[in-house]
């Protein structure tokens, strides 16, 4: 699984056979430039979902429910999840949180919309967790995650993202659940892995988390291309002969004559 928020990258992810594309609320940080994912709204994320839908034919498409789009009431959660499917073209939604979001999960999945859970570090409520801290470091904390995972499974999730959970806890949770786990910073024993696209491509310059692998540093060639472009425009070497459209010579002569009259 990888995140995508636009048509070109979802086309590429789909073409290389990525099983699932997540239109994550990380969109708020890596594309919109917010400091956290908290400000992201339904009105911001739905157009990104539609663009991803247009680029993808095979991958399972999952929309990430923004902070406060599923917490207020079950009715609100179902209505917003429905918007992801009807207006955003998504096939499933993801919600952050442990047992406290089980009623929302139950309501959404009872309405016929598949739900992916997300426990461990939950960026929408990271303040409550004291920041982005690795979860499941102690037996008690591991047990808490275990109980959260089981409550979500009982509520009807089809899988669970484990973010920044110790490898030992993630392995035990994975072995216990009957639904798959998708890890991000949670080690090698999850059933699948997810990364934020801009971390994979080196396009998010503010920071790269320890768990992310940068497969390419695209910021460099982009910077280089834009530098060359602006230089060529300033020096007059772009556009060149090969980029221009021409008029017939008789039309040109007529136009010049018009200018003189």
Strand ranges inside 141-261, DSSP E: 159-163, 181-184, 192-193
* 25 near ligand KIV, judged by CB under 6 A: yes
* 196 near ligand KIV, judged by CB under 6 A: yes
Minimum separation from the CB atom of position 48 to ligand KIV (A) = 11
Look up residue 66 and give its DSSP letter.
Answer: P
Cβ nearer to ligand KIV, comparing 14 with 25: 25
How far is residue 49's CA from residue 70's CA, in Å, rounded to a whole number? 17
* 194 near ligand KIV, judged by CB under 6 A: yes
- Cβ atoms 162, 120 nearer than 8 A: yes
* 3 near ligand KIV, judged by CB under 6 A: yes
Minimum separation from the CB atom of position 259 to ligand KIV (A) = 58
Which residue in this structure is represented by tokens 């998010």? 204
* 64 near ligand KIV, judged by CB under 6 A: yes
* 161 near ligand KIV, judged by CB under 6 A: yes
Q: Which helix (H) or strand (E) holds 231?
A: helix 219-235
Other beta carbons less than 10 A from residue 21's beta carbon? 30
Look up residue 171 and give its DSSP letter.
Answer: H
How far is residue 49's CA from residue 55's CA, in Å, rounded to a whole number? 10
> Residue 23 phi/psi, 5° resolution?
-85, 85
Q: Which stretch binds ligand KIV (CB under 6 A): 13-21, 22-30, 105-113, 139-147?
A: 22-30
96, 106, 153, 163: which is the annotated catalytic residue?
A: 163
Count of residues interacting with ligand KIV (CB under 6 A): 11
So which residues are the catalytic ones? 163
Binding stretches for ligand KIV (CB under 6 A): 3, 22, 24-26, 64, 118, 161, 184, 194, 196
């Amino acid at each position: 699984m990888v995140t995508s928020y636009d048509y070109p990258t979802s086309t590429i992810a789909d073409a290389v056979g990525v099983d699932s594309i997540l239109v994550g609320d990380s969109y708020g940080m890596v594309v919109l430039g917010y400091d956290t994912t908290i400000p992201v709204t339904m009105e911001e994320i739905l157009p990104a979902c539609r663009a991803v839908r247009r680029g993808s034919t095979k991958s399972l498409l999952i929309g990430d429910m923004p902070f406060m789009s599923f917490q207020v009431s079950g009715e609100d959660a179902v209505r917003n999840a429905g918007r992801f499917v009807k207006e955003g073209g998504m096939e499933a939604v993801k919600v952050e949180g442990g047992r406290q979001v089980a009623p929302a999960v139950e309501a959404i999945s009872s309405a016929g919309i598949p739900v992916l859970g997300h426990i461990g570090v939950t960026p929408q409520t990271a303040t409550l967790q004291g920041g982005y801290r690795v979860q499941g470091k102690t037996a008690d904390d591991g047990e808490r995650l275990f109980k959260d995972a089981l409550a979500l499974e009982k509520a009807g999730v089809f899988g669970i993202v484990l973010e920044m959970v110790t490898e030992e806890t993630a392995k035990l949770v994975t072995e216990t659940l009957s639904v798959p786990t998708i890890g991000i910073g949670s080690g090698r024993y999850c059933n699948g892995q997810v990364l934020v696209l801009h971390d994979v491509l080196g396009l998010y310059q503010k920071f790269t988390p320890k768990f992310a692998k940068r497969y390419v540093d695209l910021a460099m060639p982009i910077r280089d291309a834009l530098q060359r472009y602006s230089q060529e425009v300033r020096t007059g070497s772009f556009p060149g002969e090969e980029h221009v459209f021409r008029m017939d010579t008789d039309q040109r002569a007529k136009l010049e004559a018009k200018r003189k009259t």
